[in-house]
């Protein structure tokens, strides 16, 4: 007999004997011996017992109960998730799992091997692979091992008809997203409870389900039901005499969200279409209600199918990465509305002050007087005031307003950073999703520490137009645009509307104002709003394509040069109706070929859909 067969037999026999030994009462002599040994071992053992008994008490207690008692877990269905119109976003579908329980196996090695052969054949698993899995399994965590989940109907019939000792069929549930891909980064996915989960939550059932990402993870304590338990009573030989139902499974609570399901589906499809036409792979779509922080849509591309996770693990485009809340990007010209508001408030500029853009400005180079440093506009924009500078997206205007030039004072990096912080760009937004990133705001101290070089005027110029080392998440960017749209309130984005148990709400979401700048920024926001409207109304505006929409729109486009200016990311941010915003949207296309020309058409279709199906109705 091969060594691997002996190892598996020993493991399975050991588990069987261990289960039987647990049925035999310990003698008083054993307890006295143990006590005597503890006295001899002294301080070292006591310290270890202190650690195991107090620090790790809950963990080992739950594991011991699982091993000593012969329980069968009756899985509870997770709570359902709905959009704002009660459309079901994810549901439960019955499934069947297959487990190996060594305690129920025959003690005969040949019979054990035959059972493993039949099991591997039914599950279409290589026998040697199955043996290796048994050898490597941590039997200290659980007295049964998951062999396969969500088996087919034919496999279920096959197992049910053969009744292999030691092989248990267990009813369970799988999560089914409706439809796949389109809500993946919002909903997230569930996975099996593992050792790491048990360290944090020792009362969990090993191999049960737990949220691993998205809403499934963030609201797991509400969505997770309470599993039921059935205990089997055995005699001294380990034979089952009777069974008792200790507890019945209780379903998880329902989660109602602010997500507009049909709108998200349309938004997703339109983004996918745009990427297909462009030959691109990565994009973000976001929509908020700027009046209260409600999240209407959240899309990250590429996406994944929650029920076929293994198919996407090796994808080099990293579909599990939620670009909407985790990605950090140079915002490009979409930062200009903030710079304009700050410059107005700090009295650096007036709305009427005009600055001339010849297409470039030259900054004297003290080291090479004959070779000045040239900073370019994307085109020669001529004389522009604040509104036209926003509409035409003049870099020269914001170089000068941000860093100063000749007789035009600039904000400087200290005031720029102060206003970035006022708009919350240095913090996470607090959205109810796990793993959110926060923006990075550079300053002279950081640069000197990292590069050993001083902060220069060119650095200020770059960040004033959203380049350089300034990076934001798409959600952080849109959240700041919402402040401009509503006139000064920074809201915490919210996905969950309420948590319900049956028809009873047990937790309801309320708007959270993170910062109220209304008094401070009312006039400045009004002037910036004019510039964003001008971007649509003016024939030279970068978002003029939206001019013929049946709803008024305020907008700002942006392109950010990346990877040594070899690629660009294209942005669109905007809101509608312009004078009473009900929706603010962001579109990001990575590695765009034509900048805003790749985002504005998508924005037009998305805003038109929302107007026809939501605002006009």
Mean pLDDT is lowest, of 309-318, 435-444, 487-496, 549-558, for 309-318
Residue 296 lies in a domain: yes
Question: Are 479 and 395 within one domain?
Answer: yes
The arithmetic mean of pLDDT across residues 471-476, rounded, is: 98
State the pLDDT at residue 48. Answer: 62
Give the residues across from 93 on adjacent strands.
174
Q: Mean of the pLDDT values across residues 7-19? A: 60
Half-sphere exposure in the Cβ direction for 546 (13 Å, CA)? 38
pLDDT of 67 > 50? The answer is no
Q: What is the mean pLDDT of residues 463-483?
A: 98
Q: Please report which confidence band the pLDDT of residue 69 belongs to, taking 50, 70 and 90 as the band edges.
A: very low
Q: Determine the pLDDT at residue 17.
A: 55
Residue 232 sits in the same domain as residue 332: no
Q: Are 339 and 522 in contact (CB under 8 A)?
A: no
Say yes or no to pLDDT of 454 above 70: yes
pLDDT (average), residues 478-492:
98
Residue 272 lies in a domain: yes
Mapped onto helix, strand or coil, the DSSP state of residue 208 is: coil
Beta carbons of 444 and 371 less than 8 angstroms apart: no
Q: Has residue 5 been placed in a domain?
A: no
Q: Which residues contact 47 (CB under 8 A, 6 or more apart)?
A: none
18 pLDDT band (50/70/90 cuts)?
low
Could you tell me which of 313, 38, 399, 61 has the C-alpha nearest to residue 202?
Answer: 61
d(CA 607, CA 297): 13
pTM to 2 decimal places: 0.86
Domain holding 76, by residue range, is 71-177+225-257
Do 441 and 498 lie in one domain? The reply is yes
Q: Residue 240: which pLDDT band, with cuts at 50, 70 and 90?
A: low
Among 262-271, 369-378, 441-450, 511-520, the range scoring the smallest mean pLDDT is 369-378
Only one residue has tokens 């486009």, namely 557
Q: Distance between CA 442 and CA 445 in Å, rounded?
A: 8
Q: What is the pLDDT of the chain when averaged over all its residues?
A: 89
- Alpha-carbon distance of 441 to 425, in angstroms, equals 8
Tell me how many degrees the CA angle 441-434-502 measures, rounded to the nearest 5.
140
Whether residue 22 is predicted with pLDDT greater than 50 in this model: the reply is: no
Mean pLDDT within 363-379: 87
Q: Any idea of the CA torsion for 544, 548, 549, 552, to the nearest 10 degrees?
A: 70
Least confident of 1-10, 142-151, 232-241: 1-10
**CATH number, domain containing residue 139:** 3.90.1310.10
My answer on whether 252 and 285 are in the same domain is no
279 assigned to some structural domain: yes
Identify the pLDDT of residue 68: 42
| Residues 447 and 559 reside in one and the same domain | yes
* Domain assignment of residue 497, yes or no: yes
Instruction: Name, in order, each residue with C-beta under 8 angstroms of 614's C-beta and a sequence gap of 6 or more.
Output: 260, 263, 582, 583
User: Can you list the pairs that 403-406 forms with residues at least 24 positions away whose Cβ atoms lie under 8 Å?
Assistant: 403/457, 403/460, 403/461, 403/464, 404/457, 405/361, 405/363
The CATH number that applies at residue 480 is 3.40.710.10
Phi, psi of 435 (to 5 degrees): 70, 30
SS3 518: helix
Is 349 among the domain residues? Answer: yes
pLDDT digits (tens, 9 = 90+) for 191-209: 998 888 888 888 787 888 8
- Write out the H or E segment, with its range, that includes residue 483: helix 474-486
pLDDT of residue 352 exceeding 90, the answer is yes
Q: Are residues 231 and 298 in the same domain?
A: no
Alpha-carbon distance 465 to 333, whole Å? 5
Query: Which pLDDT value is given to residue 516?
Result: 97
pLDDT band at 14 (very low <50, low <70, confident <90, very high): low
226 falls in which pLDDT band (50, 70, 90)?
A: confident
Residues 244 and 267 both lie in one domain: no
First to last CA, the chain: 76
214: its two tokens: 């998205």
- Residue 425 corresponds to which tokens in the numbers above? 């760009």
pLDDT at 162: 83
Q: What is the pLDDT of residues 530-560, one digit of tens each?
A: 999 999 999 999 999 999 999 999 999 999 9
251 and 330 co-located in one domain: no
Q: Residue 41 domain-assigned?
A: no
pLDDT at 321 over 50: yes
Q: Which of 216, 239, 257 is the last residue of a domain?
A: 257
- Cα 559 to Cα 147, 327, 333, 533, 617, distances in angstroms: 50, 16, 6, 19, 34
Q: Which of 42-51, 139-148, 260-269 has the highest mean pLDDT?
A: 260-269
Checking if the pLDDT of 23 tops 50, the result is no
Given this model, what pLDDT does residue 236 score?
62
Domain shared by 242 and 303, yes or no: no
- Average pLDDT, integer, range 244-267: 93
Q: Is the pLDDT of residue 32 over 70?
A: no
Instruction: Give percent of the chain above pLDDT 90.
Output: 67
Residue 312 pLDDT greater than 80, yes or no: yes
Rounded mean pLDDT, 46-66 = 54
Q: With cut-offs at 50, 70 and 90, classify the pLDDT of residue 418.
A: very high
* Count of domains observed in the chain: 2
Task: Establish if 39 belongs to a structural domain.
Answer: no
Measuring CA to CA, which residue among 91, 95, 97, 321 is closest to residue 223? Answer: 91
By CB neighbour count within 10 A (0-12 exposed, 13-18 middle, 19+ buried), where does 3 fall? exposed
- Residue 7: the pLDDT is 63
């Amino acid at each position: 007999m091969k060594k691997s067969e002996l190892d598996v037999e020993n493991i399975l026999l050991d588990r069987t004997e261990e289960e039987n030994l647990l049925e035999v009462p310990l003698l008083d002599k054993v307890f006295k011996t143990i006590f005597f040994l503890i006295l001899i071992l002294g301080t070292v053992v006591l310290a270890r017992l202190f650690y195991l008994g107090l620090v790790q008490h809950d963990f080992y207690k739950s594991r011991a109960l699982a091993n000593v008692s012969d329980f069968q877990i009756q899985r509870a269905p997770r709570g359902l998730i709905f959009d704002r119109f009660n459309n079901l976003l994810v549901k439960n579908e019955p499934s069947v799992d297959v487990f190996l329980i060594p305690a129920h196996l025959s003690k005969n090695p040949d019979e054990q091997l035959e059972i493993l052969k039949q099991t591997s054949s039914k599950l279409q698993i290589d026998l040697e692979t199955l043996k290796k899995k048994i050898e490597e399994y941590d039997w200290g965590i659980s007295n049964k091992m998951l062999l396969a989940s969500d088996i087919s109907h034919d496999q279920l019939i096959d197992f049910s008809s053969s009744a292999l000792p030691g092989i248990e069929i267990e009813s369970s549930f799988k999560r089914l997203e409706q439809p796949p891909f389109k809500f993946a980064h919002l909903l997230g996915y569930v996975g099996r409870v593992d050792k790491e989960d048990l360290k944090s939550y020792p009362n969990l059932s090993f191999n049960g389900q737990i949220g691993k990402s998205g809403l499934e993870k963030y609201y797991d304590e509400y969505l997770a039901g309470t599993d039921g338990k059935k205990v089997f009573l055995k005699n001294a030989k380990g034979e089952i005499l009777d069974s008792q139902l200790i507890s019945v499974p209780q379903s998880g609570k329902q989660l109602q969200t602010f997500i507009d399901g049909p709108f998200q589906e349309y938004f997703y499809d339109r983004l996918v279409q745009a990427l297909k036409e462009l030959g691109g792979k990565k994009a973000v779509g976001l929509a908020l209600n700027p009046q209260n922080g409600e999240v209407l849509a959240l899309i990250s591309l590429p996406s994944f199918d929650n029920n076929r996770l293994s198919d996407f693990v090796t994808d080099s485009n990293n579909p599990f990465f939620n670009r909407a809340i985790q990605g950090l990007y140079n915002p490009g010209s979409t930062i200009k509305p903030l710079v304009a508001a700050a410059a107005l408030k700090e009295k650096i500029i007036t709305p009427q002050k005009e600055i001339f853009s010849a297409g470039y400005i030259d900054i004297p180079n003290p080291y090479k007087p004959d070779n000045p440093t040239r900073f370019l506009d994307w085109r020669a924009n001529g004389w522009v005031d604040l509104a036209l500078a926003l509409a035409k997206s003049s870099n020269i205007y914001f170089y000068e307003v941000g860093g100063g030039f000749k007789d035009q004072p600039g904000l400087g990096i200290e005031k720029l950073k102060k206003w970035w912080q006022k708009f919350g760009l240095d913090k996470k937004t607090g959205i109810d999703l796990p793993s959110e990133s926060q923006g990075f705001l550079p300053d002279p101290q950081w640069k000197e520490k990292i590069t050993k070089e001083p902060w220069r005027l060119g650095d200020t110029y770059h960040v004033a137009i959203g380049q350089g080392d300034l990076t934001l998440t798409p959600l952080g960017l849109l959240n700041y645009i919402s402040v401009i749209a509503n006139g000064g309130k920074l809201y915490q984005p919210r996905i969950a509307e309420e948590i319900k148990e049956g028809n009873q709400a047990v937790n309801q979401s309320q708007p959270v104002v993170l910062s109220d700048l209304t008094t401070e920024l009312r006039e400045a926001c009004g002037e910036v709003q004019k510039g964003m409207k001008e971007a649509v109304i003016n024939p030279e505006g970068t978002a003029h394509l939206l001019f013929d929409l049946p709803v008024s729109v305020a907008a700002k486009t942006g392109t950010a040069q990346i990877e040594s200016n070899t690629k660009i990311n294209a942005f669109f941010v905007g809101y509608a109706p312009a004078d009473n915003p009900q929706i603010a949207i962001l579109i990001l296309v990575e590695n765009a070929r034509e900048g805003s020309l790749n985002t504005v058409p998508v924005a037009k279709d998305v805003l038109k859909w929302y107007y026809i199906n939501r605002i006009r109705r």
